Amino acid sequence: MSRFAIGDVQGCYEELRALLARLRFSADRDRLWFVGDLVNRGPRSLEVLRLVRDLGANAETVLGNHDLHLLAVASGRRPARRSDTLDAVLAAKDRERLIEWLSGRPLAHFEAGDLMVHAGIVPQWSAAATLAHAREVESELATGRAELFEHMYGDQPDQWSETLTGMDRLRFTINVLTRMRLCTRDGRINLALKGKPPGEDSPWRPWFEADGRRTAEVRVVFGHWSALGLVLRERLAGLDTGCVWGGALSALDLDTGAMTAVPSRGYQSIDT
């Protein structure tokens, strides 16, 4: 049995099928880990959702910012954006089953020393704390109440504190796990800066380079940062290689360390 972690798919269905063929993936023996953002920007989000859902227990996927955006639009609490490519999902006959399945996905998954999130983790959170904070959001999603989608957008609060409560606490957790790239050592996050990391003289560092990071004892598997590209370090795997932007769709064998990738069929120019 192999465990393959796959980077941001974002509706790139043909590339996903090609990648699975190259991996010689078999649902009888293998499992897939998806780092989130199954949907949006690419052309075939509906087919991607159906494929991953139908894998059942052979697929683990965490929610990314685009997945949460789909849930918010489907709830009627947020409008679609001009850049969205979600119409086929929203018009599908099996829309409700797909939305129900997606809303049941976690924001963090831990297994055999590997912790998977979509974006990042502030240095103050251990693996156990990350899972606990993720469960708070997941519990809210499980209630079926759409109020979360009215209030989850926004960049504040921008620093972790155990005193955070209510929607501020949920929004901060969502922003960390699905949107963050940069932070300071004291847990302040910056959601405005994108692209390549700033210079060494900046207080803003990639979240995984923050001093005192409490998840350093586990391997963190993540996506979300296409401008950064493939990141393979000891106990760290960043797998967003920008398929939807003309890059590639990549997979890491979590047990052997082998990498496999297929090139993008070309959709949009690089957007950092």
Nearest Cα neighbor of 210 from 224, 235, 194, 189 is 189
For residue range 121-166, what is the model confidence (pLDDT) as tens digits?
A: 999 999 999 999 999 999 999 988 888 999 999 999 999 999 999 9
CA atoms within 13 Å, Cβ hemisphere of 15: 31
Domain presence at residue 14: yes
Mean pLDDT for 235-262 is 97
Averaged pLDDT, 241-262: 97
Quote the strand ranges of the chain, DSSP E. 3-6, 31-34, 59-61, 109-111, 114-116, 182-183, 189-190, 205-206, 219-222, 231-233, 236-238, 248-253, 259-263
Sign for the CA dihedral angle at 153, 110, 216, 230 comes to: negative
Q: Is residue 157 part of a domain?
A: yes
Residue 270 belongs to some domain of the structure: no
* CB neighbour list of residue 243: distance below 8 Å, 6 or more residues apart: 7, 8, 9, 10, 12, 15, 42, 249, 264
- State the pLDDT at residue 145: 80
Q: Decide if 171 is inside a domain.
A: yes
Specify the pTM.
0.95
Q: What is the CA radius of gyration of the chain?
A: 17
Mind listing the pLDDT tens digit for each residue in 36-76? 999 999 999 999 999 999 999 999 999 999 999 999 999 99
The first and second tokens of residue 101, run together, are: 């399945």
Report the chain's terminal Cα–Cα distance, integer Å.
Answer: 36
Is 271 contained in some domain?
no
**Residue 272 placed within a domain:** no
What pLDDT is stored for residue 199 in this prediction?
A: 87
1, pLDDT greater than 90 = no
29 pLDDT higher than 80: yes
Q: What is the CATH number of the domain that holds 86?
A: 3.60.21.10
Q: Are 204 and 198 in contact (CB under 8 A)?
A: yes
Nearest to 122 by CA among 154, 159, 157: 159
The pLDDT of residue 13 is above 50: yes
User: 93: domain range?
Assistant: 3-263
Band (pLDDT 50/70/90 cuts) for residue 22 is very high
Asked if 125 and 214 count as a contact pair (C-beta separation under 8 A), the reply is yes
Number of H helices, E strands in the chain: 8, 13
Q: Is the pLDDT of residue 271 over 70?
A: no
pLDDT above 80: residue 272: no
What per-residue confidence (pLDDT) applies to 146? 83
The per-residue pLDDT for 268 is 59
| Beta-bridge partners for 15 | none
Flag whether 58 is in a domain: yes
Average pLDDT across the chain, whole number: 94
Contact status, residue 120 vs residue 208, Cβ threshold 8 Å: yes
Instruction: Give tens-digit pLDDT for 81-121.
Output: 999 999 999 999 999 999 999 999 999 999 999 999 999 99
Helices (H), the chain: 13-23, 45-54, 65-75, 87-91, 95-103, 127-142, 147-151, 166-178
269 assigned to some structural domain: no
Number of domains in the chain: 1
Q: Give the per-residue pLDDT at 249.
A: 98
Q: Tell me what the mean pLDDT of segment 204-230 comes to.
A: 94
Contact 193, 181 (CB under 8 A): yes
